[in-house]
Chain A
Amino acid sequence: MKTNTTLHPVDQPLEMRHLTARVWKSFFFLSTIIAITALTALLLSIINQSFGYVVIENKVQPAAVAPQPLETLPPESLIEILRSSLNRNRIRAIERQGLLVERSQAELFALVMENIIRPEVVASYNLDQSLFNRRSIEAAAAEKYPHGALEFRSWLNRGFLLNAMNSKPELTGVRGALIGSLLLILITIAFALPAGVGAAIYLEEYADTSTRINRVIQANIDNLAGVPSIVYGILGLAIFVRGMEAVTSGAVFGVTDSNGRTVLSAGLTMALLILPIIIINAQEAIRAVPKSLRDASYGLGGTKWQTIWNHVLPYALPGILTGTILAISRAIGETAPLIVVGASTLLTQDPSGPFSKFTALPVQIYNWTSRPQAEYRHIAAAAILVLLATLLSMNAIAVILRNRFSRKSL
């Protein structure tokens, strides 16, 4: 910087101006650092809780049940072990979900583990402790749980992804919640995208913005985007769960074993929630279509609809998809409205269609984090990782779609 050479009297306060610029620059830099630190801390804390040493104790030693390792036994021997060790009522309860003889070896092995061996996590440690205090963990574990086995456990594992929900944290999985979340998003998008884009087209292309009523509508939509999600939950409860129960429970389609607390109700509620976001973003995208493009279309004798459909919408599509990405991100993480609409806390059967009972990943995480036991903290952290991965992959799909459309239009 040429601070010492004075070219002109005007240059005198230049030093001060540069100083101001530097102060602002460091302020902006600091803001970025704060944001990055917060994100890193969040991610680290989740990862820290998702992995670590656990001490597992079996209620019954496998050696006491059979001389060979259990997983190598044929189905017949496993059935025999089950029948000899469990009382009749328990067997009947198990067979109600499928006869033993019809089950695979892996299923039978899981039943033996769950009902007879009953391995239990009696102590768990976070990743940081596991990495840096291994010795003391080993010592403490050996002293307190002489029969326990110390092993490194990734709480986020294949079983966690693929298992149905279970009341035991070691055996539970997020399959139901994951399917629920995906179904929910599917229904949400199926309703919110056409409705939102339709409303945006109407407001931008057809509505006369000089009339009071249309201005009121516009102001309302802008404000609806900021309404707390719990309010939408209450609305959904009143309209979809109660008011339209015949439809949302599937009664009018012949589904009998259900009430209004279904995936469909939750999806519609979520659609209401993200509708304003989609409308606002789609309006923004449509407004950004250059006037020259419309002129070109009209100049060739295009009608209004031909202009919108052939030129305005394709041009606005990337922007509309960006808005949809934002909306999906919002919807996939929403918890409050789902709880109000009636997500199940323990769902052993996967949601299979729009009229199923449901739960979703954030609801599951909420339920697990509110438990006092340490193991639930770990599975909640693992579920958060699953949620983040789901969110990222959905966004990736939307980004790929958007890029494809914007390349096609060029």
Chain B
Amino acid sequence: MNVDTKTTTFQMNTDDRSDDYALVVEDMNFYYGNFRAVKNVSMKIEKKKITAIIGPSGCGKSTVLRTFNRMNDFIPGTRVEGKIIFHNQNIYDPRIDPVQVRRSIGMVFQRPNPFPKSIYDNVAWGARINGFNGNMDDLVEESLQKAALWDEVKNDLRKSALSLSGGQQQRLCIARALAVEPEVILMDEPCSALDPIATLKVEELMRELSKNYTIIIVTHNMQEAASASDRTAFFTMDEDRAGMMVEYGFTDQIFTTPRDKRTEDYITGRFG
């Protein structure tokens, strides 16, 4: 099946009003030195929806996610071609300060990585450096409420964040990201280091947050993508080991009637 050209320019079956999109990726290529790690990705991320990116290991899912808030800038020798449009501006425009991008597009990482500080300071730090000058106590409480962590930690705000359990730490990281009031939250396998109960809590939280935030999640867990997301993008790699997007659409459609053979193989566990 010749999918190469078709899938990379695949358009979703929704109205093409840019207002509905939080991010528009246009023909994005990503290079580590001379190696093209991701090729020809074009996708439109809808506002206030959960978009899942799935695919086998090494297909560039995390790399793609990290291009959305320029986290790859810190890896020497990397390069992005193409455009990622956020608020009608290409975030890779040289006039754009990446700090500004990361402030509006927050990120939650694979392993919970709270700062080795108190719970309070973890939440407050991001807001403080971004010039927040309202009532910090209120902001901390509000953020922890949104992350469904407040009831568990309200009496221990001065305790070290590292004393929390893994699931609590991950929700703290989400609260921390919420405190700077981003529009988009990128989640890089947020539940892969958590036990099933903690995973469930984070997934419920994601669903709740999607009322107000655009969430893009990379996951290995097919069930998670199927149950928690609205849209799903399936990535794989071609014979040059460059990651590419095979199929992108409504989650139901991807999981029930995938258009591409490779998607079907992957979601039914026949991959490789």
Which of B74, B113, B114, B125 contacts A310 (CB under 8 A)? B125
Give the contact stretch, choosing among B37-45, B148-156, B173-181.
B173-181
- Report A-chain residues with C-beta under 8 Å of the C-beta of B109: 292, 295-296, 299
B117 within 8 A of A: yes
B101 to chain A, nearest CB (A): 8
- Report A-chain residues with C-beta under 8 Å of the C-beta of B196: none
In the bound complex, how far is the Cα of B69 from the Cα of A298, in angstroms? 10
B58 within 8 A of A: no
A13 within 8 A of B: no
Q: In the complex, which residues 47-78 of chain B have their Cβ closer than 8 Å to any Cβ of chain A?
A: 69, 71, 74, 76
B115 within 8 A of A: yes
Which of B76, B113, B160 contacts A410 (CB under 8 A)? B160
B118 to chain A, nearest CB (A): 10
In the complex, the chain A residue whose C-beta lies closest to that of B106 is A299
Main secondary structure of the interface of A (DSSP, over half): helix
In the complex, the answer to whether A311 meets B115 with C-beta atoms within 8 Å is yes
In the complex, the answer to whether B115 meets A299 with C-beta atoms within 8 Å is no
In the complex, the answer to whether A298 meets B113 with C-beta atoms within 8 Å is no
In the complex, the answer to whether B74 meets A298 with C-beta atoms within 8 Å is yes
B259 within 8 A of A: no
A129 within 8 A of B: no
A293 within 8 A of B: yes
B56 to chain A, nearest CB (A): 24
Residue interface mask A271-302, B partner, CB < 8 A = 1: 00000000000000000001011111111111
- Report A-chain residues with C-beta under 8 Å of the C-beta of B130: 300-301
A409 within 8 A of B: yes
Q: In the complex, which residues 94-138 of chain B have their Cβ closer than 8 Å to any Cβ of chain A?
A: 99-100, 102-104, 106-109, 111, 113-117, 125-126, 129-130
In the complex, the answer to whether B106 meets A300 with C-beta atoms within 8 Å is yes
Given A299-B106, A310-B125, A410:B69 Cβ within 8 A: no
Given A301-B126, A301-B180, A409:B116 Cβ within 8 A: yes
Interface size class of A (residues with CB under 8 A): 20 to 34
In the bound complex, how far is the Cα of B176 from the Cα of A290, in angstroms? 19
B162 within 8 A of A: yes
In the complex, the answer to whether A300 meets B103 with C-beta atoms within 8 Å is yes
A372 to chain B, nearest CB (A): 59
- Report A-chain residues with C-beta under 8 Å of the C-beta of B100: 301
In the complex, the answer to whether B129 meets A410 with C-beta atoms within 8 Å is no
In the complex, the chain A residue whose C-beta lies closest to that of B126 is A300
In the complex, the answer to whether B129 meets A295 with C-beta atoms within 8 Å is no
A157 within 8 A of B: no
In the complex, the answer to whether A299 meets B162 with C-beta atoms within 8 Å is no
In the complex, the chain B residue whose C-beta lies closest to that of A306 is B129
B46 to chain A, nearest CB (A): 22
A303 within 8 A of B: yes
A380 to chain B, nearest CB (A): 47
In the complex, the answer to whether B126 meets A409 with C-beta atoms within 8 Å is no
A293 to chain B, nearest CB (A): 6
Which of A208, A210, A296 contacts B115 (CB under 8 A)? A296
In the complex, the answer to whether B74 meets A409 with C-beta atoms within 8 Å is no
In the complex, the chain B residue whose C-beta lies closest to that of A292 is B113
In the complex, the answer to whether A302 meets B69 with C-beta atoms within 8 Å is no
In the complex, the answer to whether B99 meets A303 with C-beta atoms within 8 Å is yes
Q: In the complex, which residues 300-323 of chain A have their Cβ closer than 8 Å to any Cβ of chain B?
A: 300-303, 306, 310-311, 314-315
In the complex, the answer to whether B126 meets A302 with C-beta atoms within 8 Å is yes
In the complex, the answer to whether B117 meets A295 with C-beta atoms within 8 Å is no
In the complex, the answer to whether B99 meets A295 with C-beta atoms within 8 Å is no
In the complex, the answer to whether A296 meets B114 with C-beta atoms within 8 Å is yes
In the complex, the answer to whether B126 meets A294 with C-beta atoms within 8 Å is no
In the complex, the answer to whether B117 meets A296 with C-beta atoms within 8 Å is no
B179 to chain A, nearest CB (A): 8
In the complex, the answer to whether B129 meets A302 with C-beta atoms within 8 Å is yes
In the complex, the answer to whether B71 meets A298 with C-beta atoms within 8 Å is yes
In the complex, the chain A residue whose C-beta lies closest to that of B130 is A301
B162 to chain A, nearest CB (A): 6
In the complex, the answer to whether A301 meets B116 with C-beta atoms within 8 Å is no
In the complex, the answer to whether B160 meets A296 with C-beta atoms within 8 Å is no
B26 to chain A, nearest CB (A): 24
In the complex, the answer to whether B102 meets A298 with C-beta atoms within 8 Å is yes
> Would you list 9 pairs from A and B whose C-beta atoms are within 8 A, ordered by A residue?
A295-B109, A298-B74, A299-B69, A299-B177, A301-B104, A301-B130, A303-B129, A311-B115, A409-B116
* B interface residue numbers (CB < 8 A to A): 69, 71, 74, 76, 99-100, 102-104, 106-109, 111, 113-117, 125-126, 129-130, 160, 162, 173, 176-177, 180
Top 3 closest pairs, chain A to chain B, by CB: A301-B103, A300-B126, A292-B113
